Chains A and B, each alone.
Chain A
Amino acid sequence: AQKITQTQPGMFVQEKEAVTLDCTYDTSDPSYGLFWYKQPSSGEMIFLIYQGSYDQQNATEGRYSLNFQKARKSANLVISASQLGDSAMYFCAMREVSGGYQKVTFGTGTKLQVIP
């Protein structure tokens, strides 16, 4: 079974509109962390936002917010007021402890294109 599932291979959004990128995860570990990264065409991985499994509040970082629904095992990324520079690949990732080691698993990504 996939640990991290991103079901949207590609998304379009109008500039200045909000967009939600979906992410569901699968783990039996009660303690885990969820991340979103942005990867522009240059290839670098840019950290956007983090949510801990015990955090009560949804994480927010500027125009990014994480809609964390623990019971549904979903961690959707919401980007408000989209900008042309937001066009990139977006990856959801989860950190777990396995055998005493921390391991991070990434989803397959969503390609976001912002339309002027």
Chain B
Amino acid sequence: DGGITQSPKYLFRKEGQNVTLSCEQNLNHDAMYWYRQDPGQGLRLIYYSQIVNDFQKGDIAEGYSVSREKKESFPLTVTSAQKNPTAFYLCASTRRGSYNEQFFGPGTRLTVL
């Protein structure tokens, strides 16, 4: 079955540590996105990528980094520079040039201890 996988589902880290969230899709989609969601809030765009080896900052990119070395993979690193990293992180993908819906992964809940 095609879809998006995110791992792990729950992640705990100590303050000051970098952590990488995984996002993999087998939908052959060109575009991939990372969102952050805080309790009771909407989704805010962190980074997005339309093609391999290219990505753009979203609205809240500070303290985050990404890479897009393969079409299927778009990992997000939460660095120690991110002041308030505890949140729910959602990865999504869509066909480039399409106005159809984004497909979302199940999300990763990151808690900083």
Which A residues contact B (CB, under 8 angstroms)? 6, 32-33, 35, 43-45, 47, 50, 52, 91, 93, 95, 99, 101-109
Which B residues contact A (CB, under 8 angstroms)? 31, 33, 35, 40-45, 48, 50, 56, 58, 88, 90, 92, 94, 96-97, 99-104, 106-107, 109
* Interface pair A45/B90, CB less than 8 Å apart: yes
The CA of A42 and the CA of B92, in the complex, are separated in Å by 16
* Interface pair B48/A47, CB less than 8 Å apart: no
* Interface pair A43/B45, CB less than 8 Å apart: no
| B41 partner residues in chain A, CB cutoff 8 A | 108-109
What's the nearest-Cβ distance from chain B to residue A24, in Å?
14
| B107 partner residues in chain A, CB cutoff 8 A | 43-44
| A32 partner residues in chain B, CB cutoff 8 A | 99
Q: A91-B43, A108-B42, A109-B42 are in contact. Are A102 and B31 (CB under 8 A)?
A: yes
Chain B residue at minimum C-beta to C-beta distance from A39? B37
* Interface pair B48/A101, CB less than 8 Å apart: yes
Which secondary structure characterizes the binding site on chain A?
Answer: strand
What's the nearest-Cβ distance from chain B to residue A27, in Å?
13
The CA of A111 and the CA of B40, in the complex, are separated in Å by 9
Which secondary structure characterizes the binding site on chain B?
Answer: strand
Question: Which of A35, A43, A101, A109 sits near B101, CB closer than 8 Å?
Answer: A35
| A47 partner residues in chain B, CB cutoff 8 A | 101-103
* Interface pair B33/A101, CB less than 8 Å apart: no
Chain B residue at minimum C-beta to C-beta distance from A96? B99
The CA of A83 and the CA of B92, in the complex, are separated in Å by 28
* Interface pair A43/B33, CB less than 8 Å apart: no
What's the nearest-Cβ distance from chain B to residue A90, in Å?
11
The CA of A28 and the CA of B102, in the complex, are separated in Å by 22
Q: A43-B106, A102-B94 are in contact. Are A50 and B101 (CB under 8 A)?
A: yes
CB-defined A-B contacts under 8 Å, sample of 20: A35-B101, A43-B88, A44-B106, A45-B90, A45-B102, A47-B102, A50-B99, A50-B101, A91-B42, A91-B43, A93-B43, A102-B94, A102-B96, A102-B99, A103-B58, A106-B35, A106-B42, A108-B41, A108-B42, A109-B41
